[in-house]
Amino acid sequence: MTLPAPLTGVVPPVCTPLTPDNEVDTASLTRLVDHLVSAGVDALFVLGSSSEAAYLPDRHRRTVVETVVGHVGGQLPVLAGAIDMTTLRVNDHVDAVTAAGADAVVVTAPFYTRTHPAEITRHFRAVAAHSPVPVFAYDQPASVPLKLTPDVVTELAEDGVIAGLKDSSGDEGAFRACLMGTRALPGFSVLTGSELTVDSALAMGAHGVVPGLGNVDPEGYVRLYRYAKAGDWERALAEQERLCTLFGMVEVGDPARMGRSSSALGAFKAALQLRGVIDCAATMLPQVPLSAPEVERVGKYLAGAGLL
Amino acid sequence: MTLPAPLTGVVPPVCTPLTPDNEVDTASLTRLVDHLVSAGVDALFVLGSSSEAAYLPDRHRRTVVETVVGHVGGQLPVLAGAIDMTTLRVNDHVDAVTAAGADAVVVTAPFYTRTHPAEITRHFRAVAAHSPVPVFAYDQPASVPLKLTPDVVTELAEDGVIAGLKDSSGDEGAFRACLMGTRALPGFSVLTGSELTVDSALAMGAHGVVPGLGNVDPEGYVRLYRYAKAGDWERALAEQERLCTLFGMVEVGDPARMGRSSSALGAFKAALQLRGVIDCAATMLPQVPLSAPEVERVGKYLAGAGLL
Amino acid sequence: MTLPAPLTGVVPPVCTPLTPDNEVDTASLTRLVDHLVSAGVDALFVLGSSSEAAYLPDRHRRTVVETVVGHVGGQLPVLAGAIDMTTLRVNDHVDAVTAAGADAVVVTAPFYTRTHPAEITRHFRAVAAHSPVPVFAYDQPASVPLKLTPDVVTELAEDGVIAGLKDSSGDEGAFRACLMGTRALPGFSVLTGSELTVDSALAMGAHGVVPGLGNVDPEGYVRLYRYAKAGDWERALAEQERLCTLFGMVEVGDPARMGRSSSALGAFKAALQLRGVIDCAATMLPQVPLSAPEVERVGKYLAGAGLL
Amino acid sequence: MTLPAPLTGVVPPVCTPLTPDNEVDTASLTRLVDHLVSAGVDALFVLGSSSEAAYLPDRHRRTVVETVVGHVGGQLPVLAGAIDMTTLRVNDHVDAVTAAGADAVVVTAPFYTRTHPAEITRHFRAVAAHSPVPVFAYDQPASVPLKLTPDVVTELAEDGVIAGLKDSSGDEGAFRACLMGTRALPGFSVLTGSELTVDSALAMGAHGVVPGLGNVDPEGYVRLYRYAKAGDWERALAEQERLCTLFGMVEVGDPARMGRSSSALGAFKAALQLRGVIDCAATMLPQVPLSAPEVERVGKYLAGAGLL
């Protein structure tokens, strides 16, 4: 399907349910898609950070896109990450995910290697020239050496290289600069990936939100988006604060025993299992699984938010 | 062939010559291999950082390993990088490079994702369990979030998970701790990737060196290694200082116009072209090429070192 | 005077006007205070980052506090930074600024030295035990090694150690967590130091704002605060965006020639001179002065914002 | 006394013994000085990082310099840190320590504030113009935002601004570049602050060493220096490795409970107390003291090195 321009609304980065031996659990994945679609989300983003894209081998990635695109059957757009180190490797993923039916691709700045703003724009220009579908820039400075500055984003937007921005930088001042710098461009979409400041981003004029926590509570983010669009900032604030409290689950994993990715993605998946959406909370190697007491604490967060 | 244990000597990380349209130039690659082998190096390392591994799509990587392994025909060992974000993706590269004939694989800690020492050891254990050939740990904190601490290296070495360490951290105190921590393990190899302190590393007891600059001047590093092994520290120092001066070429690229990878790898390739070893100095997208005056400055470094 | 609890409203971090030979220009300083007070600000913060506290020797610091406290004569509260590396050094500044009449002190986590959350809380507890006036925690992760986490802030607030937080971290998710974690504490004040997201911070429930740019356009921040308090988010947004555009002046300084502090503080002072508030735009050694064309660009920002 | 040019040999950064209530214990300090001098060190460096300079209020700093200068009575040179954020603050410390008799001052790049190489050179030039004694540059990138690059060091050395470099960066490649870049300057002194690679530094041509661990085992560093000067690299290596093992004491402090400064400086002081040199192992607020079992482990390190 053709991507709406601008893309708006709630676009959850879909978790990748796995079997205990780290294969894609396609039955759970389609149930997760149903869980999100029935909550009223506007599009789906697969193969992002919350999808464990960095952990998925190419065949898993293909399975994910084919399963999700096949299951949604054009009801709503599917964006797919093409996450890899540099241009030609990214282009190979662009080929794979568009062959599998993705409606847009989401691409970061180069990583692993030392890079430069001039190389970042060169990278996006080459990917966009290659891609048959719109390209979204993914600002993820926790994973890549350089933040996408408002100057870089605005230049790429003005030149029609990118169709939108998915900003997970947590830098709300720069986010606002991207919004202001691209406001005159009809169809350009600015999305926040920061779960905790969605109300702020929408008040600034953001087009939508890509919340990892939206896997667990998509209805919450749909409500938050609708309150904000209606200008009901009081209800938006209350909903946002409820979601912030729920987000506390990402810290359940013991930092002496595991990294923050194991903890956060483990918590989202444990929550999805506790809510009956997916069969198994396994995360990809080499992440460390949550312990039983840690999973129990996830359950308490769900109960506290009225989700159990 | 079976890898010597410990691996010792000069093990250059082989540059990947390219055509102007970013295909692997196999003719230049075999000439480069001849240039290195005839200088007396002890093994070859392909698909490392100096090989632009992060930039090479899978088919380029396969071509590189097949070409080099085919060309050296068992004269000396070939190590190959299996550089990717996480365990299962790395394992796919391990399959590919060993199918193409690599004698050992070189693997970093996970990257792009936030990681933890416990996840790093889990990663190496899973890769080693999968790999048909010895695994070298690649300490590259400029590219991955966490340095491999001496504790992690020693644990993995003692448990027979890794056969060696290639340390490009530049942290010589920790390098020494890795050497002291693994000294009792016969066959374990500790290699430095720091071009500028090879004499120091060898004096500490390092088994060998993996110098990017060794592409340009392999004879220099072979001499340096031999002087050090012979305990002729005066000549070793003079040779090392000559190489340090030559290494200045990595800074020729204007930092306002390009990143440090474009500058350093561009300089190595320009030098190889000026020395008549390879046909074209192109680097992979999205790196920025050196300008003509910058290439001229590379020539001056070569002339200064008596290499033109 | 007694500090209001909670402290609310616009609390500009007062620039320190200097003579060309780097002495405090007290005449300009009192004019700057008048400029701020007459705009309707609620309190003044001296000896913060925008005041070049890091650059001021002790005698300059004393002159600043005495001059400002003497000039405002109790009309509104004066907070003073006690910026130094560690506890006992900070306590000496607490003594000095309270002797000079400051109504509250503003203190960062330890810096220069490697620190730890347990040492940070120990630091604030020791400073608070020593200080005769309320202590505000200053979260400034651009200058100190560790961010003040919401856990640390909430613990110190609940135990009555700190009276408020001045958050210049730019991490709006953590800012919200501090707000939510201290909401039950009457009198605790949470202030944002992020010029570009004041509307967001106030919508979240922040008590006030400490904007460096408020030196240049205090009326703008006073309006923004009043619109937000009145729930007029449309006007607040427009005012905030006007101020964001004005804030662009902090980038006028050539990054090849000077650091970001020279550029930003140089721009604020050039603007104050162009507006006729202070006599000289000099910044403290070793900052680099703006060039004439850079000052001209500051003037264009002022003109664009209707301030010339 | 006049500082030798170049300054050579072992220059321990003298710990600052304290009473339990954080006053300078001058009796212990003079005993520590005797312990160092009688071991054969070549000069003393007070008010550096190992001296807890960042933690000492001005009156403690003055007491330290006066005590040490008074006690050594011109037997050997005393260098003093003038550690503060920026130029004029540093100059005030220069005045204080030279009034108290210091023979040279040791100065870092600006910190707390964002800085730039052009501002760093401006800073050193202004301090040197002010100082009545030679200025050593202190490269301490763990504490200040920017490393002193070989370009900056060489420029300042060539212009006679600085008399030497104390390099605690741990970047041995850059250290070598500083050595090579200043070799033609008679009298310029390059000292390493890296305890673990002293043999390497001396082999490169370093003039001396400033080892924090030299408080605990000055004889060891004196022997190491002498072996290296005599070209007896085998004995130098053995001595260095013994010292590396001893250095392991810096990790005794539980990282869940304290920062790395508390652990390292706490261990040095515990070792000095166990060896009978100082009366009390207290470190300055807000550092966290070692526990009894942690102190016991320090004792085991001493015993292992034959120092108990």
pLDDT at D262: 98
By the 10 Å C-beta count (0-12 exposed, 13-18 middle, 19+ buried), D234 is classed as exposed
Catalytic residue among B55, B112, B138, B229: B138
Per the CB < 8 A criterion, the answer to whether A153 and A166 are in contact is no
User: How many percent of chain D have pLDDT more than 90?
Assistant: 99
| Res C230: pLDDT | 98
Please state the rounded mean pLDDT for residues B139-152. 96
Give per-residue pLDDT as tens, D50-89: 999 999 999 999 999 999 999 999 999 999 999 999 999 9
Q: What's the whole-number mean pLDDT along residues B148-154? A: 98
Q: Which of C147, C166, C221, C301 is catalytic?
A: C166
Q: B150 lies in a domain?
A: yes
Those residues whose C-beta lies under 8 Å from the C-beta of residue C153, and which sit 6 or more positions away, are C137, C139, C162, C165, C178, C181, C182
Query: Is residue C29 domain-resident?
Result: yes
Tell me the per-residue pLDDT of D267-302, one tens digit each, with 9 for 90 and over.
999 999 999 999 999 999 999 999 999 999 999 999
Percent of residues, chain A, with pLDDT higher than 90? 99
The tokens of D227 are what? 């072996």
Shortest CA distance from D257: residue in chain C: C118
| Residue of chain C with shortest Cα separation from D112 | C143
β-bridge mates for residue A18, sequence order: A24
What is the average pLDDT value for chain C, to the nearest integer?
97
Which residues of A are less than 8 Å from C172 in CB distance? Answer: 170, 172, 194, 196-197, 200
B294 within 8 A of B271, measured Cβ to Cβ: no
- pTM (2 d.p.): 0.97
Which contacts (CB < 8 Å, 24+ apart) does range C200-203 have? C200/A172, C200/A197, C200/A200, C200/A203, C200/A204, C200/C172, C201/C172, C201/C175, C202/C228, C202/C229, C202/C236, C203/A199, C203/A200, C203/A203, C203/A233, C203/A237, C203/C228, C203/C233
The per-residue pLDDT for D142 is: 93
* Contact (Cβ atoms closer than 8 angstroms) between residue A151 and residue A137: no
- Does residue D308 sit within a domain? no
C-alpha closest to that of D189 among D215, D155, D161, D164: D164
In chain C, residues with a C-beta closer than 8 Å to the C-beta of A196 are 172-173, 176-177
Considering only the beta carbons, identify the residue of A55, A87, A143 that sits closest to B285.
A87
pLDDT on residue C2: 84
For residues C73 and C4, give the distance between their C-alpha atoms in angstroms, rounded to a whole number.
Answer: 16
Q: Kindly report, residue by residue over C23-49, the tens digit of the pLDDT.
A: 999 999 999 999 999 999 999 999 999
B194, closest residue in chain D (CA to CA)? D173
pLDDT at C270: 98
State how far residue B168 is from chain D, nearest Cα, in angstroms. Answer: 12
One-character DSSP codes across B174-188: HHHHHHHHHTTSTT-
Nearest CB to B111 within list A88, A112, A284: A112
pLDDT at B274 over 80: yes
Residue A250 lies in a domain: no
Q: Which residues of A are less than 8 Å from B120 in CB distance?
A: 286
Burial of D236 (0-12, 13-18, 19+ CB in 10 A): buried
Asked if residue B243 has pLDDT above 90, the reply is yes
Q: Is residue D284 one of the residues assigned to a domain?
A: no
**Nearest partner of B54 among A260, A100, A142, A123, judged by Cα:** A123
Contact D116 C49 (CB under 8 A): no
Percent with pLDDT over 90 in chain C: 99
Interface residues on C facing A, Cβ-Cβ cutoff 8 A: 170-173, 176-177, 180, 194-197, 199-200, 203-204, 231, 233, 237, 241, 244-245
| 8 Å CB contact between A208 and A7 | yes
Q: Which two tokens stand for residue B85?
A: 């974000």
Q: Residues B115-134: what's their mean pLDDT? A: 98
Four-CA torsion C38, C44, C46, C52, nearest 10 degrees? -60
Chain D interface, best mutation among B116, B183, B192, B197, by max D CB count within 10 A: B197
Residue D231 region, left (φ>0) first, then alpha (ψ -120 to 50), else beta? left
Let me know: does D287 contact D199? Beta carbons within 8 Å: no
Enumerate the residues of chain C whose CB falls inside 8 A of the CB of residue D126. Answer: 285-286
- Give chain D's contact residues with B (Cβ, < 8 Å): 170-173, 176-177, 180, 194-197, 199-200, 203-204, 231, 233, 237, 241, 244-245
Distance from CA of A51 to the nearest CA of B (A): 12
Q: What are phi and psi of B284, to 5 degrees?
A: -70, 150
Supply the pLDDT for residue D266. 98
For residue A54, give the DSSP letter. G
Give the count of domains, chain A.
1
Q: Is residue C289 part of a domain?
A: no
Q: Are strands C135-139 and C104-108 parallel, antiparallel or unpaired?
A: parallel
Residues in chain A predicted with pLDDT less than 70, given as ranges, are none
**Chain D residues close to C287, C-beta within 8 Å:** 119
Which one of C54, C126, C288 has the shortest CB-CB distance to D119?
A: C288
- C1 pLDDT above the threshold of 80: no
Q: What is the pLDDT of residues D127-152, one digit of tens each?
A: 999 999 999 999 999 999 999 999 99
Residue among B147, B166, B225, B269 flagged as catalytic: B166
- Whether the bond into D218 is cis, omega within 30 of 0: no
In a domain, B306, yes or no: no
pLDDT band, residue D1 (cuts 50/70/90) = confident
Q: Which residues of A touch C194 (CB under 8 A)?
A: 172-173
Query: Taken in order A219, A225, A229, A230, is the CA torsion positive or negative?
Result: positive
* Range of the structural domain that residue A186 is part of: 9-234
Task: Note the pLDDT tens digit of each residue in D230-263.
Answer: 999 999 999 999 999 999 999 999 999 999 999 9
- At residue B294, the 3 state secondary structure works out as helix
Instruction: Looking at the complex, report in whole angstroms how far the Cα of residue D74 sits from the nearest Cα belonging to chain C.
Output: 30
Query: What is the model's pLDDT at position B1?
Result: 74
| A–B CB contacts, 8 A cutoff, strictly below | 140
**pLDDT of C223:** 98
Query: Which pLDDT score is estimated for C29?
Result: 98
D59's CB contacts (< 8 A; 6+ apart) are none
Active site residue B166: yes
Q: Cβ–Cβ of A285/B110 closer than 8 Å?
A: no
> DSSP readout, C56-123?
--HHHHHHHHHHHHHHHTTSS-EEEE---SSHHHHHHHHHHHHHTT-SEEEEEPP-SS---HHHHHHH
- Could you tell me if residue C196 is inside a domain? yes
Size of interface B-D (CB pairs under 8 A): 63
| Contact residues on chain D for C86, CB-CB shorter than 8 A | 54-55, 284-286
Selected for mutation to probe chain A from B263, B285, B288, B290 (highest A CB count within 10 Å) is B285
CATH number of the domain to which C65 belongs: 3.20.20.70
Yes or no: say if B80 and B65 are a contact pair by the CB < 8 Å rule: yes
Instruction: Report yes or no for ipTM above 0.90.
Output: yes
Residue from the list C200, C233, C244 with its beta carbon closest to the beta carbon of A197:
C200
Contact C54 D119 (CB under 8 A): no
C252 is in an annotated binding site: no
The pLDDT-based confidence of B2 (bands split at 50, 70, 90) is: confident
* Order of strands across the sheet that contains A104-108: A9-10, A208-209, A189-192, A164-167, A135-139, A104-108, A78-81, A44-46
Out of B116, B260, B286, closest to residue A86 by CB: B286
